[in-house]
């Protein structure tokens, strides 16, 4: 049995970059999908609203672990070869788009109805209303819950280890299988997640306080 040394610790810490890269890829993909979902949910076309509603309920109502399994195995049924990185990024992006879409829909709907009516009276169509009037007011409201969800997304990347993607948690499992010092190894992993997530959580809470003060 190997002993736990600096090389093993550095291997674990080096895997943080894959956690961050996966989180960034999922957040970008989820942001694109989430904006589409939010616009569909808050739009005027009823079938699109129902499609977006069903998508949100599907991904919010099923475990993320199952979604990652499906993203990894289902493409193979249709002849597509997906590696763990691609499957993890796809599964987390679909997951994130459902949650971000609902967060951003809520922010859009907090804009007073009078703003919509005033912009319509000025002759603005729906997309111009969104771009020039609604979204500039909705974005500050959406920032705190969006950052809060990003924290959850970073922690959720640990489930990608189950499909073989070597991020922080998977790297720790590999080293622990060699040295069998779970308390030390997973203690290091916990501290690493805390170091990444705590500043984001603190920023989200500060933004919430600023928003609350601005709306008084």
Is it the case that residue 214 has pLDDT exceeding 70? no
Contacts of 148 (CB under 8 A, 6+ apart): 201, 204
pLDDT band at 215 (very low <50, low <70, confident <90, very high): low
pLDDT band at 81 (very low <50, low <70, confident <90, very high): confident
Q: Residue 154 CB: number of other CB atoms within 10 A? A: 21
Q: For residues 1 and 107, which has the higher predicted lDDT (pLDDT)?
A: 107
CB distance 192 to 13 below 8 Å: yes
Superfamily of domain 6-214: MetI-like (1.10.3720.10)
Q: What is the structure's pLDDT at 101?
A: 96
pLDDT band at 45 (very low <50, low <70, confident <90, very high): confident
Is it the case that residue 28 has pLDDT exceeding 80? yes
**First vs last C-alpha separation in the chain:** 62
Q: To the nearest whole number, what is the mean pLDDT of the chain?
A: 90
Q: What is the structure's pLDDT at 125?
A: 83
Is it the case that residue 140 has pLDDT exceeding 80? yes
Q: What is the structure's pLDDT at 15?
A: 94
Is it the case that residue 192 has pLDDT exceeding 90? yes
Contacts of 136 (CB under 8 A, 6+ apart): none
Is it the case that residue 44 has pLDDT exceeding 90? no
**Dihedral angle computed from the Cα positions of residues 177, 180, 181 and 182, in that order, rounded to the nearest 10 degrees:** 50
Q: For residues 136 and 23, which has the higher predicted lDDT (pLDDT)?
A: 23
Q: What is the structure's pLDDT at 137?
A: 87
């Amino acid at each position: 049995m190997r002993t736990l040394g600096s090389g093993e610790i550095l291997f674990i810490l080096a895997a943080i970059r894959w956690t961050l890269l996966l989180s960034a890829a999922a957040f970008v993909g989820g942001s694109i999908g989430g904006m589409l979902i939010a616009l569909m949910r808050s739009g005027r076309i009823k079938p699109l609203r129902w499609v977006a509603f069903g998508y949100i309920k599907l991904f919010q109502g099923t475990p993320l672990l199952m979604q990652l399994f499906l993203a990894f195995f289902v493409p193979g049924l249709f002849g597509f070869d997906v590696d763990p990185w691609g499957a993890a990024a796809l599964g987390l992006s679909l997951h994130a788009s459902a949650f971000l879409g609902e967060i951003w829909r809520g922010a859009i709907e907090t804009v007073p109805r009078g703003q919509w009516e005033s912009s319509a009276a000025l002759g603005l169509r729906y997309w111009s209303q969104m771009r020039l009037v609604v979204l500039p007011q909705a974005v500050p409201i959406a920032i705190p819950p969006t950052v809060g969800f990003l924290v959850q997304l970073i922690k959720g990347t640990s489930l990608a280890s189950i499909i073989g993607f070597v991020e922080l948690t998977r790297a720790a499992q590999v080293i622990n299988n060699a040295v069998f010092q779970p308390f030390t190894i997973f203690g290091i992993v916990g501290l690493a997640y805390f170091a990444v997530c705590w500043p984001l959580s603190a920023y989200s809470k500060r933004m919430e306080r600023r928003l609350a003060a601005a709306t008084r």
